[in-house]
């Protein structure tokens, strides 16, 4: 863990900026590799998808075997224990309940000229959900994306996730998809999955918007297909920042730092800001004590040594200033209850704010309700976490009658003269 002291000077800001840049930087330039594979998938379709799946995932797939069968989806539910099924159902319910409250509603109103204006909201016709593979089955990512798609009633929902070398998908992920009601699932991952969803193949119909996290190659692929399709975010390595006052339990802070560092890519980023110098030392001791019991201890150690920054501050206001600059994906406020509201109001760039000593990031990751797909790499300055409206689009509506048209005519005709677009003015005048 690297420790620096807060100051108002340029040296501190340079150190903070440099560390944030480290967090946001990708591992080398992958754009050429990505563009080549995308072009190949666009040209050769399923054949290219199958070849890249074998090359990168070690799975030899037949064209007919790319899609998960209904039987596989149904049997996956039975592979879960009653406790596991109950946990997944509870997470689904929490996410659905949270996002139901955010759904927009159509509206109409009269404007100053008497015209009727409004908005209408529609589910996107067809969406693609990318669920990363790797060392762990990301059941929570299934829940945090697929539930939103079903909630807004997207007519088409396609899921792509990389298979294991034996051509299978983790039963827990398939079970969650089946429990949510998603039945179109493909054993395809990586760049080739993004290409297939963006351009379409014989087996995989093109989608209109792609959602979901992934490695640097997947994110670059999403960036390159933007315009052909929509995308949600370009999330990079996962992040957490913890603001801890003198009352925070060092063992709890340590556990949350460890939890964030265990995601597995090795590029996770961890920030800590505290008003207590003594606490920082106790946290390091607690980390050393807890690490041996963790499954991914080696990976966690690597992240905490190279990609963990602690800032010693004199006040919670200084901690808030640091957080506002970092714009962390997850922000934990391990501070006294009396400080939570004021501190939360000072920080406007965090993806998710987890408030109080008893609110670890894991709650937001799995079951609290808000989606855990959040902006990273300081993107919280201008973007927000995934929400139901991201699976929708809107149309504005305008309706004038003869009376309201007459009221609006002088404005239109004036703008037409100002912009030398006399046809615009004429299109109104001819109706009067």
Out of 178, 252, 263, 330, pick the active-site residue: 330
Out of 329, 332, 419, 424, pick the active-site residue: 329
Q: Are 230 and 206 in contact (CB under 8 A)?
A: no
Cα-Cα-Cα-Cα dihedral sign, residues 278, 262, 192, 68: negative
Residue length, the chain? 432
| Catalytic (active site) residue 72 | no
Q: What is the dihedral of CA 255, 261, 264, 265, to 10 degrees?
A: 170
Instruction: Quote the CA–CA distance of 423 and 420 in Å, as a whole number.
Output: 9
| Catalytic (active site) residue 268 | no
Cβ partners under 8 Å of residue 60, min gap 6? 54, 167
Q: 239-244 and 269-274 as β-strands: parallel, antiparallel, unpaired?
A: parallel
Angle among Cα 3, 265, 57 to the nearest 5 degrees reads 170
Angle among Cα 169, 173, 176 to the nearest 5 degrees reads 145
Instruction: Quote the CA–CA distance of 320 and 313 in Å, as a whole number.
Output: 10
Instruction: Quote the CA–CA distance of 432 and 421 in Å, as a whole number.
Output: 18
| CA 37 remoteness from chain centre | 24
Catalytically active residues, by annotation: 329-330
């Amino acid at each position: 863990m690297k420790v620096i002291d807060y100051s108002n000077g340029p040296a501190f800001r340079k150190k903070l900026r440099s560390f944030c840049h480290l967090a946001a930087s990708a591992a080398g330039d992958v754009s050429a590799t990505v563009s080549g594979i995308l072009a190949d998938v666009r040209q050769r379709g399923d054949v290219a998808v199958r070849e890249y799946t074998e090359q990168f995932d070690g799975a030899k797939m037949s064209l007919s075997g790319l899609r998960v069968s209904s039987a596989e989806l149904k049997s996956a539910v039975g592979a879960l224990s009653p406790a596991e099924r109950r946990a997944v159902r509870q997470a689904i319910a929490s996410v659905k309940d949270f996002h139901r409250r955010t759904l927009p509603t159509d509206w109409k109103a009269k404007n100053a000229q008497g015209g009727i204006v409004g908005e209408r909201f529609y589910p996107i016709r067809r969406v693609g959900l990318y669920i990363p593979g790797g060392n762990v089955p990301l059941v929570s990512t299934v829940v945090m994306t697929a539930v939103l798609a079903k909630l807004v009633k997207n007519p088409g929902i396609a899921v792509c996730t990389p298979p294991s070398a034996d051509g299978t998908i983790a039963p827990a992920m398939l079970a969650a998809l089946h429990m949510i009601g998603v039945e179109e699932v493909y054993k395809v991952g990586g760049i080739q999955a993004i290409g297939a969803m963006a351009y379409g193949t014989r087996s995989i119909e093109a989608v209109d918007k792609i959602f979901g996290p992934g490695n640097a190659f997947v994110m670059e692929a999403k960036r390159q297909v933007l315009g052909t399709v929509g995308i949600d975010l370009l999330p990079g390595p996962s992040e957490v920042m913890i603001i801890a006052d003198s009352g925070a339990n060092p063992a709890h802070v340590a556990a949350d730092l460890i939890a964030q560092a265990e995601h597995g890519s090795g590029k996770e980023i961890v920030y800590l800001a505290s008003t207590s110098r003594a606490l920082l030392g106790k946290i390091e001791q607690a980390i050393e004590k807890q690490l041996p019991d963790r499954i991914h201890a080696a990976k966690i150690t690597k992240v905490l040594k190279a990609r963990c920054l602690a800032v010693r501050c004199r006040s919670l206001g200084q901690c808030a200033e640091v957080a506002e600059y970092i714009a962390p994906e997850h922000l934990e406020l391990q501070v006294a209850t009396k400080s939570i509201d004021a501190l939360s109001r000072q920080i406007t760039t965090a993806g998710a704010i987890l408030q109080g000593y008893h609110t670890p990031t894991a709650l937001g990751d799995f079951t609290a309700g808000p989606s855990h797909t959040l902006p990273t790499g300081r993107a919280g300055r201008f973007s927000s976490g995934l929400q139901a409206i991201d699976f929708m689009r809107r149309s504005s509506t305008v309706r004038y009658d003869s009376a309201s048209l007459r009221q609006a005519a002088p404005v239109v005709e004036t703008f037409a003269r100002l912009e030398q677009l006399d046809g615009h003015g004429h299109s109104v005048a001819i109706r009067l």
